[in-house]
Structure 1
């Protein structure tokens, strides 16, 4: 009998993933990583719901205390980034370093099981020609989460199953109702786990970073107002600037050295290219010459055509077919060939 360990957050997606695999004949065991205390999925509340699902499916349930790992790899990583005036993307970092790798290691070493599964909306396939596992968008484009999974290694892709990759969210809800799962009507998680737990990203960051008043300036250096800490702002932000102007102004740069928030119009906040570091080549080997692709510079941004140009130091220069607004250092740029995720990395500061 095939065996699999399913990562359970306490939400409907992971619950359905476990139920579907169980129904297909897998010997399923549930696993929740305890990442932090408080509200939200993956926390105290989520573990209770995950335990109920395992009880309902009559499968073993395991909890692994990963709070120290989460603190080091996510909380400290976020705080350090915001202090430097960048806006880190925690989810991709969390998926590789905190969730998938530790889950697979625990499954193999502690339970003797070689496969893990999650409720992510993405697909995996093996390509014989290249001898690589490829990561693909989910069938449901509105729920596709491949963007956050770009940093998964070949080893992790080989050991992972995404049961919901060919399923729409509506179908997932329907399946949950058919199995009469206790999470069938649980509301969708709307924010990062840290935001759910602390109320807002600002509240979370204020616990770790002292507020330091500074200037809000335009591109010429004229002082337009004051801010209470650059960690309260992100590139492309329009609301909450606290200044009046004849035209809409956006955050175009964060100057950590001078403790300044720099604002400008939408045009000044657009870029025709950027450089990307810490590249993970997923579905293809690293090319030596430029390639064409479509890129997303944020999870919800529209894919745009791009020239992907390898640099000598393993970084990449992305040259967009049309200027992109709000290119944010610390966020991920992920490029695709149609549904196939080719690679991704972290956007650098200028």
Structure 2
């Protein structure tokens, strides 16, 4: 019998993923990572719901205390990034370093199981010609999470199952209701787990970073106002600046060294290029020459045409066909060929006007 460990957060998606595999004849074990204390999925409340789902399905439930790993790879990572004036994206980092890697390691070493599954909306295919697993968008594009999964290496893609990749979210809810799952009507998790747990990202960061007042300046260095901490701002932000100006102003730079927030017009917040570091080539091997693709520079942004130019040391330069608004250092840039993830990495900086 095929065996699989399903990561259970206590939400409807992972619950249905476990149910589908169980009904397909897999020998399923549930695994919940205890990431932090508090409300929301991945926390105490999520563990209780995950345990209930395992009881409903008649499968074993394992809990792994991952709080130290989460603190090191996510909390410290975020605090360091915001302190340095960048806006890190924790989800892709969490998927690789905190969730999928440790889940597979636990499954193999403790349970003798070589497959893991989650409730993510994405798909994995295999190309025999190039002997490579390929990550693809979900059928439900409104729920597609491939953007957050770009950093998974081949050895993890080979071991992962995404049962919801070909499902619509409405189908997932329907399946949960049909099987009477406790999580069938559980509300969607709309924010980062840290935001859910702390009330806001600002509240979370203020626990670790002491707010320090500084200057808000324009591109020429002219002082326009005061801020209450660089870590409270992000590139592209318009609201909450507290500045009266003839036209709307946006955050276009964060200078953590000089403790300055730099603002400018919307036009000045557009960039024609950006550099990307820590690149993972997912579905193809690293090309030796520039390639054409479509890139997302934020989770909810539309994919836009781009030329991807490989550089040394796991870096690329992205040259956009049209200038892009709010290129944010620390966020992920993920490039696609149709529905296939070619690669992705962490934005270093935007270039050009």
Counterpart Cα distance in 2 of 1:138 and 1:150: 13
Correspondences of 1:15-26 after superposition (within 5 Å): 15-26=15-26
Counterpart Cα distance in 2 of 1:30 and 1:5: 6
Q: Which residue of 1 aligns with 2:65?
A: 65
Residue 219 (structure 1) shift: 1.2
Q: Which residue of 2 aligns with 1:52?
A: 52
Q: Aligned with 2:94: secondary structure?
A: helix
Q: Which residue of 2 aligns with 1:101?
A: 101
Residue 138 of structure 1 pairs with residue 158 of structure 2: no
Residue 313 (structure 1) shift: 3.2
Counterpart Cα distance in 1 of 2:299 and 2:308: 19
Correspondences of 1:303-314 after superposition (within 5 Å): 303-314=303-314
Counterpart Cα distance in 1 of 2:100 and 2:311: 29
Q: Structure 1 unaligned segments of length 5 or more: list them.
A: none
Correspondences of 1:53-202 after superposition (within 5 Å): 53-202=53-202
Number of aligned positions between the proteins? 350
Counterpart Cα distance in 2 of 1:281 and 1:174: 36
Residue 196 (structure 1) shift: 0.3
- State which drifts further: 325-334 or 305-314: 305-314
CA offsets per residue over residues 244-294 of structure 1, 9 Å max, x none? 222111100001111000111110000000000000000000000000000
Counterpart Cα distance in 2 of 1:211 and 1:191: 23
Residue 314 (structure 1) shift: 3.0
Counterpart Cα distance in 1 of 2:182 and 2:224: 53
CA offsets per residue over residues 286-334 of structure 1, 9 Å max, x none? 0000000000000011100000001133310000010000000000000
Q: Aligned with 1:348: secondary structure?
A: strand
Q: Aligned with 1:133: secondary structure?
A: strand
Residue 243 of structure 1 pairs with residue 243 of structure 2: yes
Q: Structure 2 unaligned segments of length 5 or more: list them.
A: none
Partners of 2:280 and 2:314 within 8 A in 1:
no
Counterpart Cα distance in 2 of 1:297 and 1:314: 18
Counterpart Cα distance in 2 of 1:46 and 1:208: 25
Counterpart Cα distance in 2 of 1:19 and 1:243: 53
CA offsets per residue over residues 104-128 of structure 1, 9 Å max, x none? 0000010011100000000001110
Q: Which residue of 2 aligns with 1:253?
A: 253
CA offsets per residue over residues 157-213 of structure 1, 9 Å max, x none? 000000000001001000100111000000000100000000000000000001100
Q: Aligned with 1:248: secondary structure?
A: coil
Counterpart Cα distance in 1 of 2:27 and 2:242: 56
Q: Aligned with 1:18: secondary structure?
A: helix
Counterpart Cα distance in 2 of 1:349 and 1:113: 42
Correspondences of 1:183-222 after superposition (within 5 Å): 183-222=183-222
Counterpart Cα distance in 2 of 1:133 and 1:190: 30
Runs of 4+ in structure 1 displaced over 3 angstroms? none
Counterpart Cα distance in 2 of 1:157 and 1:328: 28
Counterpart Cα distance in 2 of 1:189 and 1:105: 27
The alignment yields a C-alpha RMSD, in angstroms, of 0.7
Counterpart Cα distance in 1 of 2:257 and 2:341: 36
- State which drifts further: 326-335 or 234-243: 234-243
Counterpart Cα distance in 2 of 1:5 and 1:312: 38
CA offsets per residue over residues 120-158 of structure 1, 9 Å max, x none? 000001110110000000000000000000000100000
